[in-house]
Amino acid sequence: MTEWEDAARIVFPASDRGADLSILPLYALDWTHPVQKKELFDPALAARPLSLPSLQGRRAFQAVPLPTFNGFWVGSRRMIGVNPGRAVSLCTFFNAFPAGYWARFTDAKSVRLSFAVSGKGVVEVWKSDAAGRDSRLWREPFEGDASFSPAFGIGGMAEGGYLWLDIHAEEASILGG
């Protein structure tokens, strides 16, 4: 039988009321569809010479839209609520699990994510690789109160990558760690 130890916990700021909203992206984000252009992962693109004069007079980088916080509210350090029809991603500084680090520098072969939900919706666990490509590992619908503890192998993640949780709420839902 595998013995499990806590390596990380899902956490949130104490409250979103009266808090500095600029810190919320460190904990949770309104979910957006991932956009991964093939050009970002094309090794030939990196080999092309960069023409610095071509950058003059033009904006070199596109502005990144600021994250929004309309899809969720913080209830406590260990719980958030997700508004009906909205989705939240925990692919953030504090809540994405650094599986690549654990695979490379520890003897851990697998990790388990334990959490509870209530309401109605779908929870998903995603992973990224060293190049930043993401893929869904696990998806489970829920209705009412439910607890989940899916386990995932991390042996192939030694080059880098994270694991994180997304929740898509059909009705108002609660996520607790």
- What CATH number is given to the structural domain containing 148? 3.90.550.60
The angle subtended at Cα 165 by Cα 160 and Cα 77, nearest 5°, is: 110
Contact present, 106 and 99 (Cβ < 8 Å) = no
pLDDT digits (tens, 9 = 90+) for 4-49: 888 888 898 887 666 677 888 899 999 877 666 665 566 666 566 6
Q: Is the pLDDT of residue 65 over 80?
A: no
**Is there a domain that residue 101 lies in?**
yes
Residue 110 belongs to a domain: yes
Q: Between these two residues, 94 and 36, which has the higher pLDDT value?
A: 94
| pLDDT number for residue 31 | 84
What three-state secondary structure class fits 88? strand
- Residue 91: give the domain boundaries: 21-176
Amino acid at 133: R
Nearest to 113 by CA among 74, 143, 147, 146: 147
Q: Rounded to whole angstroms, how far apart are CA atoms 33 and 150?
A: 23
| The pLDDT of residue 57 is above 90 | no
Query: What residues have CB less than 8 Å from 16, skipping those under 6 apart?
Result: 24, 69, 73, 74
111 within domain boundaries: yes
**3 belongs to a structural domain:** no
The pLDDT of residue 136 is above 90: yes
Domain count, the chain: 1
- CB-CB contact of 77 with 12 (8 Å): yes
- 7 assigned to some structural domain: no
Residue 15 domain-assigned (yes or no):
no
Q: For residue 11, tell me if it sits in a domain.
A: no
pLDDT, residue 104, reads 95
Cα–Cα nearest to 142, from 109, 108, 160, 166: 166
Q: What is the mean pLDDT of residues 79-101?
A: 95
- Model confidence pTM above 0.85: no
**Greatest CA separation for the chain:** 63
